[in-house]
Amino acid sequence: MKHHHHSLRGRSAWIVGASTGIGAALAEELLERGSRVAISARREDKLDEVSCGRMTVVAADVTDRAGLDAAADRVREALGEIDIVVFNSGFWQRMDVRDWDRDLFERHVDVNLLGLNNLIGAVLPRMIENQRGRVVGVASVAGYRGFAGAEAYGATKAAQINMLEALRSAVRRHGISVTTVCPGFVDTELTAANTFPMPFMISPRQAATAICNGLERGQMEIAFPLRMAMLMKTARLLPVRVWAAAMSRTAQQ
């Protein structure tokens, strides 16, 4: 087995949002690559299914700051200092402009953005003390541009991308690296209810492989699948007026 500079073997990794989908597959993949793994989410029974006794299971809700701090302590007790922390908790539901749901919007912010804030606060001080560590945030290509129906989700994803980019520059001199993960469509609980076309869909296993490969290469951004990532990178360059015209057609469903 060839060792990359950023080998995952022997590393301690804590994945938050690991009960299903990308997080569960990532826990599995990290274990296979020789990491010691701790997993968190709200549903302990689901975590136990993922772990099968091979991982440290710590139930936690990212919107509960004190609970997340306690979870971080328990993970450190079990694994030692945390080398890699992954924020993979995510909430998505389509917004309807005809009945603007402020509570639904707020739920996206609570989980996706304030959840990330809570997790970073739970792990960053110790990483800075130790002058090492890796923060991985799972955002989305939906944060690259605004999609009708994803006003709430896309807003939090764009915010995550910006926040992680800012953090990357700030913690670099402390020996900490920050990786932004931007998946396209992955076949998970999150996307199961979607009724719109989802091009280039991949499995959670493929997503986990892409993430681990990127981490081993030391990438700062991991976007996949490649065709969707390229499409969205290109979409970023389109003029506002062109994007608006193209997207308003998709919104009339």
- What is the rounded distance in angstroms from the CA atom of residue 247 to the CA atom of residue 201? 20
pLDDT at 4: 52
Distance CA 216, CA 9 (A): 10
Does residue 2 sit in helix, strand or coil? coil
Q: What is the mean pLDDT of residues 116-131?
A: 98
For the chain, give the mean pLDDT. 95
List the catalytic residues. Answer: 153
Angstrom CA distances, 175 to 8, 171, 222, stand at 17, 7, 20
CA distance 12 to 126: 14
Instruction: Indicate if the pLDDT at residue 75 is higher than 70.
Output: yes
Structure tokens at 144: 């690259």
Better-scored residue on pLDDT, 3 or 41: 41
For 107-122, write each residue's pLDDT tens digit.
999 999 999 999 999 9
**Stretch 134-159: mean pLDDT, rounded?**
97
Give the residue extent of every domain in the chain. Answer: 12-251
**Which residues, including other chains, have CB under 8 Å from residue 54's CB and lie 6 or more apart?**
31, 37
Nearest C-alpha neighbor of 25 from the set 235, 224, 159: 224
Pick the CATH number of 12-251 from 3.10.450.40, 3.40.50.10190, 3.30.499.10, 3.40.50.720: 3.40.50.720
Give pTM, 2 decimals. 0.96
Confidence of residue 253 (pLDDT cuts 50, 70, 90): low
At 210, the amino acid letter reads A
Q: What percent of the chain has pLDDT over 90?
A: 94
Q: Is 218 helix (H, G, I), strand (E, B) or coil?
A: coil
Task: Provide the pLDDT confidence category of residue 223 given band limits of 50, 70 and 90.
Answer: very high
- What pLDDT is stored for residue 170 in this prediction? 98
Q: Per the structure block, which two tokens stand in for 117?
A: 């804030």
